Amino acid sequence: MENDQFMCPTDIITGIVFIDGELAMLTLTADGELRWTEYGLRQYLSMKKDVLGFIVEGKQIRVKAVVEKEAGGICCGQFGGDFVRKDFVFEPLIDQNGWCYKLRQYLDSLGRPKRLLVFVNPFGGKKSAREIFVKEVKPLFEDADVQLEIQETKYQLHAKEFVKSMDVSKYDGIVCVSGDGILVEVVNGLLERADWRNALKLPIGMVPAGTGNGMIKSLLDTVGLRCCANSATISIIRGHKRSVDVATIAQGNTKFFSVLMLAWGLIADIDIESEKFRWMGSARIDFYALQRIICLRRYNGRILFLPAPGFEGYGQPASCSLYQEPHVSDKEVGYQGPETKFEDLEWREMKGPFVTIWLHNVPWGAENTLTAPAAKFSDGYLDLIVLKNCPKLVLLSLMRQTSSGTHVESPYIVYIKVKAFVLEPGALVDEPDKEGIIDSDGEVLARGKRTYKCDQKALMSYDKLQVTVDQGLATLFSPEY
């Protein structure tokens, strides 16, 4: 190896190189730093955090990197977010192959994804996913030399159908350039496979390009990054992972696997019924929320829950019998939900009327809605928010407070953690012949009588359903935390 006399015992490679026409000593250290002196100043790039990849251009090696905006650097392209692209070019005097080999060897040792399946949903949010992918996501993956197989979703459940039959061995992960809807489809598709245990080892990455973007907001906000395509893509390239709980919503032998939320009452009504004002853009939510608060609905019903430790004092004691599906092999039916026996544990109940019930798996429900500030990704619990009654002016204030998460401090709100949950939905207090909507992860699970689009078929009926949670079942690409 060249210039052994200049190397520390822990250095991987060191040598004299040209940088901007000047001679410099460049070192790749064992802890993954490229170090050199330029214009009398010590410089370095972290292979783990800054470097995406490199290419050879004749005698030169061009290192593709990103740096935090606060750290300075040259902005290449129209990127928003916390990082800017920056190239570092050097020319070894000798042993170019040795430098390439050591750089590649170190990058490979980081366990980063090399082959990704990418779903692009051109219909979600502002219909900008295709443009976001081409302008912001693809260039970063190219810099990192990641091979992509791109699938544009053409209809609802397209992503779910694709992942149910794909060869999982072909990929190191799945990326969803979309809102939360495609993520939910992918999780449901993987869990319906005969080899779901192996398929769920495939990490899933999110790039925000939809309406809500609650999951990627929750991931990035945890480490202080903004919710944008730039930061999300870099997090995927770096290859760090974290597990996330998966909730099984069941009614008889019908199942839906949720990673975000379940809502009934006011929140579900706003989310689903405001679709009639989709022409208003994102303002439709605020506009329709005001309408629903002025003409406030309250629903009869009952909820039962298995409280997490420390929350046993909420509600009243109750007995509960969960639906148990007859045992069949995984090869026939895929994942069937957590195997824990819940019936003999100490259940609690609350009876209506209710204004809204909100069950959350991660902190953010959308980019501007911190629904459950105490929610954790893989604690094995769901966060339950219950609102039974509230003056309208106070409720209006509470809705505004969801952007900061301070709504859960209100005396009108019960905010607890649960291990299992049962919803027995009822009719409107003032209109006994009219029922409600049950919403999970932005999709209608059930439509009751005389509800918005009640003639459309839903996955479940407006009746008793149960929710159980399996700790850390799925895997997500995540920023390092």
Task: List, by residue number, the catalytic residues.
Answer: 180
**Spatial contact of 412 and 389, defined as CB atoms under 8 Å apart:** yes
**Spatial contact of 135 and 128, defined as CB atoms under 8 Å apart:** no
The β-bridge partners of 174 are 117, 204
Distance CA 140, CA 82 (A): 14
Q: Using alpha carbons, select from 246, 262, 168 the residue that is nearest to residue 474.
A: 246
Q: How far is CA 444 from CA 147, 373, 437, 451, in A?
A: 36, 24, 7, 11
Number of other residues whose CB lies within 10 A of the CB of residue 384: 25
Question: Which residue type does 419 have?
Answer: K
Distance CA 153, CA 174 (A): 14
The β-bridge partners of 88 are 63
Token pair recorded at residue 411: 């005396």
Beta pairing, strands 173-178 & 115-120: parallel
Q: Helix 158-165 and helix 180-191: axis angle, to 10°?
A: 30
- Residue whose token pair is 């990103």: 66
**Spatial contact of 218 and 371, defined as CB atoms under 8 Å apart:** no
Question: Which residue type does 343 have?
Answer: E
**Spatial contact of 407 and 363, defined as CB atoms under 8 Å apart:** no
HEC profile for 337-400?
CCCCCCCCCCEEEEECCECEEEEECCCCCECCECCCCCCCCCCCCEEEEEECCCCHHHHHHHHH
Q: Which residues contact 329 (CB under 8 A, 6 or more apart)?
A: none
Q: Which residues contact 91 (CB under 8 A, 6 or more apart)?
A: 17, 18, 19, 59, 60, 61
**Spatial contact of 149 and 408, defined as CB atoms under 8 Å apart:** no
